[in-house]
Amino acid sequence: MTATTTDAPVLLRGATLPNGGSADVLVADGRVAAVDSCAADQSRDVETIDCAGLVLLPGLVDLHTHLRQPGKEDAETVETGTRAAAMGGFTSVHAMANSTPTADTAGVVEQVWRLGRASGWCDVHPVGAVTVGLAGQSLADLGAMADSQAKVRMFSDDGMCVHDAVLMRRALEYVKAFGGFVAQHAQEPTLTAGAQMNESELSGVLGLAGWPAVAEEAIIARDVLLAQHVESRLHICHVSTAGSVEIIRWAKERGIDVTAEVTPHHLLLTEELVRSYNPVFKVNPPLRRDEDVHALRAALADGTIDTVGTDHAPHTAETKQCEWTVAAMGMTGLETALPVVQEAMVETGLMDWAGVARVMSATPARIAGLEDQGNVEEDGTPVVGSVANLLLWDPAVRCVVDPATHTTKSRNSPYEGRELPGRTVHTFYRGRRVVADGVLAEPFRHAPVEEAR
């Protein structure tokens, strides 16, 4: 069933704010028109939504999404991926560059950007490749991508590490010219050749080649020093080890301009799941020890890790439902991100809803330079006059995860059969209710590109 929606003003009555208070919030003309006021515009029809028991959060922002298009449409498309994003409460996603062809030219990033606008479920910001073809041999045309209609500011070879120190230095220097930053996939390739899971006693028991923590930590240590040396911005993708946390904390204490993200699955799942040899648990970086999970949670709570990035990585059944050693690495995550964060961070008492608003919206928006995303006060209250990118979340329900019901095109969720808390009730994107009562409604219709310049 497809829900209907309207562009008339909407009054969100009695919503629970991230600070624990409640308010009536008026959405009109695509913006937050009033907070803590019942003074709806009486000159026009106003739709009232009873939000009792629902937490009002800013629309979520993901710095790490794989939409697969162009070239891998059998696993995901911009249309299906952004529908999944809306269902997960996201109003902005960053599409990683490892498509086919690679997003290493202005033409490809503009194609992805246009597809996002045409879909209308959330903003799509293409991530430009750092190197041509993700090959790590020569820099891509970063300036052309930055000057394109997509206005790329985030560059990453995610899936591959920029392992050459000279190339990484040049990239960090280059992006300074237009206020960009490099997002590093920290994986020293010579230490992870043939690796299949976290290097530990368990990897020996299972007979799977180990992936040592130092392969991640060595690259992070090198790159924070490079960022300091050239005075540039560095973002670390999917931090997964306690040692990485300590390096990032050390760098921040010295004023180095580094930010970091953690995935939902690294906040909840451990290497013990690999005992099943089920390839749904095969991911890059690998699931780590329980000690790492707790270190990551603590780091997210205290601000050492800045954001949660889904690393939504859809794959076809043919590439995941096969022998472990040949299976693709990656998990879907857009539709389960907030439930996992609620379980791992909120229900453990490590974070309140204002903290969730910070790490899943306000901070990633700030890192990416998105002026119309994540506009909330310190306590998570929406800013009057800001674009109405909003999520109404029911934290009280619990649902058993069934990937067959997900909106993403792929089914490789590691949470299948697991009960997780919370669900998206309404998602507002630029004032349009794109998810209504838990189902997809109508997309936002952007002006033609020529008019939007």
* Residues marked as catalytic: 311
Residue 209: partners with Cβ closer than 8 Å, 6 or more residues away: 194, 195, 196, 197, 203
| 120 token code pair | 């209308």
CB burial of residue 14 (10 Å; 0-12, 13-18, 19+): middle
Helices (H), 26-150: 78-87, 106-119, 142-147
Residue 29 annotated as binding site: no
372 is in an annotated binding site: no
**DSSP reduced 3-state for 94:** strand
Report which DSSP code applies to 331. B
> Taking phi first (over 0 means left), then psi (-120 to 50 degrees means alpha), and beta for anything else, what does residue 29 get?
left
Report how far residue 157's alpha carbon sits from residue 132's, in angstroms, rounded to the nearest whole number: 9
67 is in an annotated binding site: yes
DSSP label at residue 285: S
Answer positive or negative: Cα dihedral of 449, 5, 374, 38. Answer: positive
**Would the annotation count 158 as a binding residue?**
yes
- Token look-up 């922002």 returns 61
Count how many Cα atoms sit within 13 Å of the Cα of residue 287 in the half-sphere of its side chain: 24
Which candidate, 78, 111, 15, places its Cα nearest to that of 428? 15
> Is 66 labeled as ligand-binding?
yes
Q: Is 223 annotated as a binding residue?
A: no
315 is in an annotated binding site: yes
By C-alpha distance, which of 444, 436, 420, 432 is closest to 28?
432
Q: State yes or no: 446 annotated in a binding site.
A: no
Binding site annotation covers 98?
yes
194: left (phi over 0), alpha (psi -120 to 50) or beta: left
Alpha helices in 287-414 (DSSP H): 290-302, 317-320, 337-341, 353-357, 363-368
398 is in an annotated binding site: no
C-alpha separations of 182 from 153, 170, 233, 312 in Å: 9, 11, 7, 19
d(CA 390, CA 405): 23
The string of DSSP codes covering 64-91 is: EE---TTT-TTT--HHHHHHHHHHTTEE
The tokens for 38 are 């019942």
How many Å apart are CA 158 and CA 135, to the nearest integer? 11
Asked whether the beta carbons of 131 and 138 are under 8 A apart, the reply is yes
Residue pair 266/287 in contact by the 8 Å Cβ criterion: yes
Binding residues for Zn(2+): 64, 66, 158, 185, 238, 311
Binding residues: 64, 66-68, 98, 158, 185, 238, 284, 311, 315
Binding residues for substrate: 66-68, 98, 284, 315
